[in-house]
Amino acid sequence: MTPDRNILQARASQLPRIMEVLSAAKKIMRSSGNLNQWIGGYPSEEAILGDIEKGCGYAVEDEGNVVGYFAFVPSPEPTYKSIYEGKWVDDTLPYHVIHRIGSFPEVHGVFKSIMDWCFCQDPNIRIDTHRDNKIMQHLILKEGFTYCGIIYLENGDERLAYQKIL
């Protein structure tokens, strides 16, 4: 993490800036060919406020300015109960899931900062992403996660699932 970078629980007052971050992340997705993830208004202000109210929404700040966002959710994740065409590295230990990661494209190292922080909280992390999200797949594998298989969201959409245990 950079010296002036902090990860703190997000506050409702940061919602406008968090939505700017997520809008920038959507633009990155679209420009890289990922046209089918985060569609139909997702993630909505309501989803982010839900994260914040549950205490699992986090803001990444550089010099006090929000430059990234993610949700860090304790297990169990209902959509991870069944995995197809593979298996979890471990399916017995408690874990955390990282959802809704976004950052501004001009701010570098946010994903790495998030991972470093998350693994200080829990040594067992799971994450998933859309098949078309090549950037996220690259970052996840670069960070040492193992591809485990396919999970399906509540709406039936497929996601590629990964796990890393320190």
pLDDT of 68 > 60? The answer is yes
Give, in degrees to the nearest 5, the angle at Cα 11 between 6 and 13: 120
Confidence band (pLDDT; 50, 70, 90) for 124? Answer: very high
Nearest partner of 131 among 150, 148, 155, judged by Cα: 150
Half-sphere exposure at residue 53, Cβ-oriented, CA atoms within 13 angstroms:
6
d(CA 144, CA 139): 9
What fold characterizes domain 5-165? Aminopeptidase (3.40.630)
Confidence band (pLDDT; 50, 70, 90) for 4? Answer: confident
Percent of the chain with pLDDT over 90: 97
Burial status of residue 78 (CB atoms within 10 A of its CB: 0-12, 13-18, 19 or more): exposed
Global pTM value:
0.95
- What confidence score (pLDDT) does residue 158 get? 97
Q: What is the DSSP string of 76-113?
A: P-GGGS--BSS--S-SSS--EEEEEEEE-TTS-SHHHH
Cβ of 18: how many Cβ atoms within 10 Å?
Answer: 26
> pLDDT tens-digit profile of 72-100?
999 999 999 999 999 999 999 999 999 99
pLDDT of 23 > 90? The answer is yes
